[in-house]
Amino acid sequence: MKRIAILTSGGDAPGLNACIRAIVRSGYYYGLEVLGVKRGFKGLIENDFFTLSTRDVSGIIDKGGTIILTSRENRFSEFKYRKIAYENLRKLDIDGLFVVGGNGSLEGAYLLSAEFDIPIIFIPKTIDNDVFGTDYTIGFDTAVNTVVDAISKIRDTSYSHERIFIVEVMGRKSGFIALASGIASGSDLTLIPEYPFPMYLIEESIEKAFLKGKKNFIIVLAEGVAYAKDLRNTLLERLSKKEINISEIKYSVLGYIQRGGSPSAFDRILATKFGVFAVKQFLAGHKNIMVSFEKGDLNIKQLKDVHNRIKKPNIEDFDINNIVNFV
């Protein structure tokens, strides 16, 4: 009987549990024994393995977070700790390691696969959606829905008090969450790091809108561009010199509410498909791969081709958002 081990690594994302469930259930379905590793790469280094049964994953498809815990383990960037991790995997006769993670974990998984003889199957998850080689990562859709819901609420206040609002969203250095949320919420301006807007254009778009009679305005700001507080202060100062009557500029930093919560149907389905597909690829003899979802199809990519790469939102989506906000 072959043995596989699963770990979740990096920031939690809605849909991780659905993915764990899918790997465990399909693993046993195909005659594998499945172990869990606690706290991601930390558990690999500290030899924290445990058996995961099909019953252990009952009732978790709708739960946020990860039942096997996660961490950001800096030690994994050092060879000596990756060696310890490999030795622990060998001691337990693990035939394949399933890593569910984002970009940092992808780098760790790639290094481990390049240096040691342990087959790795990587499954992309991160609310940021910034993993190269896949259109979607587990957790992104739920995070966008959370942001859109929050903006709908903020819009009520923005309209009623005739205020400008800046809503800061997560994404680290990428603007996927901001752009998708900006489009879906019909916000007036979306600022993302990949396609920067100079300050004078930000001012100009608010000025134009107010001159045409608009009295409220919502800006979605990706955290990779600036802090909402700083942007607010700059805008207040600059707009006060214009011939328009703006009342107040408020900001909301949505923060960790974007990481938690019950996964959307899309994320549950994606996570389940990724999990089962990943097990099938392992059984077919593929190793050191990432499973991906591109143009509606499941696919595999070599880790060496996807690690350390940058993924950008489509410029077309950015244009669409600007076009529909032309007032």
Place of tokens 């896949």: 134
Nearer to ligand F6P, 223 or 317 (CB): 223
* Footprint of ligand F6P on 187-206 (CB under 6 A): none
Q: Is 102 in the site for ligand F6P (CB under 6 A)?
A: yes
* Footprint of ligand F6P on 266-325 (CB under 6 A): none
Q: How far is CA 57 from CA 14, 41, 66, 129, 262, in A?
A: 15, 21, 11, 25, 15
Question: Could you give the CA distance from residue 172 to residue 222 in angstroms, rounded to a whole number?
Answer: 8
Q: Is 259 in the site for ligand F6P (CB under 6 A)?
A: yes
Active site (annotated) includes residue 128? yes
Catalytic residue among 48, 117, 128, 141: 128
Instruction: Give me the half-sphere count of Cα atoms (radius 13 Å) on the Cβ side of residue 250.
Output: 13
CB of 83 to ligand F6P, least distance (A): 26
Among 68, 97, 127, 209, binds ligand F6P (CB under 6 A): 127
Compute, in degrees rounded to 10, the torsion defined by CA atoms 318, 320, 323, 325.
-80
b/e sequence 39-73, b meaning 16+ C-beta within 10 Å? bbbbbbbbebbeebeeebbeebbebbbbbbbbbbb
CB of 179 to ligand F6P, least distance (A): 14
Q: Is 171 in the site for ligand F6P (CB under 6 A)?
A: yes
Q: Is 125 in the site for ligand F6P (CB under 6 A)?
A: no
CB of 231 to ligand F6P, least distance (A): 17
Q: Which DSSP letter does residue 13 get?
A: -
The residue among 280, 206, 278 whose CA lies nearest residue 240 is 206
Among 11, 40, 124, 313, binds ligand F6P (CB under 6 A): 11
Site string for ligand F6P, 210-239 (x = CB under 6 A): -------------x----------------
Question: Could you give the CA distance from residue 300 to residue 22 in angstroms, rounded to a whole number?
Answer: 17
Q: Is 138 in the site for ligand F6P (CB under 6 A)?
A: no
Active-site residue list = 128
